[in-house]
Amino acid sequence: MRMKIRFGKENRKKEGSKVFLAAGVVCMGLLTACGGPQEAEISAGGEWSDGEQDDREHSDGEQAGEEGSDVGQADEEYSDGAQAGGEGSDDESVTAGEETVGRKLTEAELQEYTEWIRDKSNYGFLLSDWENPTQINLFEVFYGGAGISHEGTEEQIQAYLNRYEEEGIYTDFWVIDKADMDIFLLEKVGLTYDELLMKGNESLEGIYYPETDCFCLQAGDTNYCMFTCTDGVLNEEGTEVILQCEGDYWVSKCEVVVNIVGGTKAIVSNHIIEGSILEEELIDEPACLIEQEILNNPKFEADALAVENSYVLGDWSKITKEALQGTWYHHPKSEGENRQYDVALKFDGDEAVVYYPAVDFYAETSYEWDIIDRSDRDLCPELDIYFRGTKDAPLVWYILGISENRDYFWCNGEVFYRQETP
């Protein structure tokens, strides 16, 4: 299985935006560290650290090719003889067996395609391996702004700072309005962002801000790659070009298919042949152990209004491992549409799975768990998840009660809703 690199979770991290879990008990109910004084960091999954950032930086001189010439009309300017490879042309025909399948591009044509590929709106499409638009890593396409980014407004910057609890912007910061994103994607791949999202492409979800309807990113590096078209073939119909391109170590060689119908160019697929990116992409990715449908569309059907914002004690004797079997989901209403602080818990026998993006739990590992009865001390039951492999410093929720129908349980201010029939 190919690894989906977590650009959707803004995996380019930097120092800051971290949640500290105490080396003693980790009380997740209020994100409170309830143990000893020592601290162990768990990254909140915000952005790359300086050490983790890819070092694909180029000098200003190397980026000069970014502003490629406008070659959108280039194919209309070739003579009929050059397009067809006919009389008077020195172009070589390309054959497959007995059949002629096209002609090789000239050096001048290859140079024009090189300049076009190097444009800031195009090179990012060569930084992932894809056959249809749903497979494009949009994070790579837009990491450098793609020519449609702008400086953020005060409101947009504040939304970013609030999400990561930061005090200021320290490196380059750009914003792409969703309306501009849709225009760009319609021109390039024929689909809007929402249409790509509905088809399963979530590679930009981690940097989308619904409160300002835009995409925001702070980045101190660049992913720009200086591609060169070294060979190419125009098909017999004159509608499609297959380019052989060479870049840097990240994507050393790739094969790009370009549609040129109507005198315009559109990349329709990219196959990476060599490059360091393949070493990262071909790593087996741990499977998500919570159903994707639950994570994408959690249900909150039970009526838990009575316990949402008040300290209500339930019948503690009903809070057992048996009662908690199944999958539960909590969304802090104060976060609006931001789901970074959502929590999903799945209990299957003696195994527990945790989905909690804010502290880097992505439901990829099962842990032992238990319900600790503390009634002898007049305390509510304690849910312990032993994520360290020992019973030291577990994840902890203090459960105040569970509903009669077992369709929700609550902690102090948190309600977890069951996601399937008990």
- Span 9-21, pLDDT tens digits: 333 333 333 333 3
Q: What is the DSSP string of 27-93?
A: EGGGTEEES-S-EEEEE-S-S--TTTS------TTGGGGGS----TTHHHHS-HHHHHT-TT--PPE
Helix-then-strand count for the chain, H and E: 10, 22
Question: Which structure tokens are listed for 197?
Answer: 């999202």
Among residues 352, 369, 370, which one has the least CA distance to residue 361? 352
Q: Which of 2-6, 27-31, 158-162 has maximum average pLDDT?
A: 158-162
pLDDT at 228 (0 to 100): 98
Domain ranges of the chain: 65-127+226-285, 292-418
Contacts of 96 (CB under 8 A, 6+ apart): none
- Span 104-149, pLDDT tens digits: 999 999 999 999 999 999 999 999 999 999 999 999 999 999 999 9
What's the angle, vertex CA 185, arms to CA 183 and CA 191, rounded to 5?
105
Residues 207, 174: Cα–Cα separation, whole Å: 11
Question: Which structure tokens are listed for 64?
Answer: 């000069």
Question: Which structure tokens are listed for 155?
Answer: 């409101």
Give Dmax over CA atoms of the chain in angstroms: 97
Residues 174, 148: Cα–Cα separation, whole Å: 10
* Share above pLDDT 70 across residues of the chain, in percent, rounded to a whole number: 74
309-314 mean pLDDT = 85
pLDDT at 95 (0 to 100): 62
237-248 mean pLDDT = 96
225-231 mean pLDDT = 96
Question: Which structure tokens are listed for 221?
Answer: 């590096």
Q: Is the pLDDT of residue 94 over 60?
A: yes
pLDDT at 340 (0 to 100): 82
- Span 336-357, pLDDT tens digits: 878 888 999 999 999 999 999 8
Residue 329's alpha-carbon distances to 302, 408, 419, in angstroms, are 12, 9, 7
- Span 177-208, pLDDT tens digits: 999 999 999 999 999 999 999 999 999 999 99
pLDDT at 54 (0 to 100): 43
- Span 355-396, pLDDT tens digits: 998 888 999 999 999 999 999 999 999 999 999 989 989 999
Residue 141's alpha-carbon distances to 65, 127, 137, 188, in angstroms, are 17, 8, 7, 11
Q: Is the pLDDT of residue 400 over 80?
A: yes
Average the pLDDT over each of 86-90, 314-318, 389-393 and give the range with the smallest value: 86-90
- Span 30-66, pLDDT tens digits: 333 333 333 333 333 333 334 334 444 443 434 444 4
Assess contact for 156 and 212: CB atoms under 8 A.
yes
Give me the chain's average pLDDT, please.
79
Question: Which structure tokens are listed for 230?
Answer: 């070294």
Question: Which structure tokens are listed for 130?
Answer: 């894809």
Contacts of 53 (CB under 8 A, 6+ apart): 12, 14, 220, 221
Assess contact for 290 and 296: CB atoms under 8 A.
no
Secondary structure element (H or E) that encloses residue 257, with its range: strand 253-259
The SS3 of residue 229 is strand
Residues 312, 162: Cα–Cα separation, whole Å: 30
Contacts of 7 (CB under 8 A, 6+ apart): 137, 138, 139, 140, 203, 204, 206
Q: Is the pLDDT of residue 302 over 60?
A: yes
Higher pLDDT, residue 334 or 66: 334
pTM metric for this prediction:
0.50
pLDDT at 19 (0 to 100): 34
Average the pLDDT over each of 98-107, 119-128, 224-233 and give the range with the smallest value: 98-107
pLDDT at 84 (0 to 100): 36
Question: Which structure tokens are listed for 73?
Answer: 């009309």
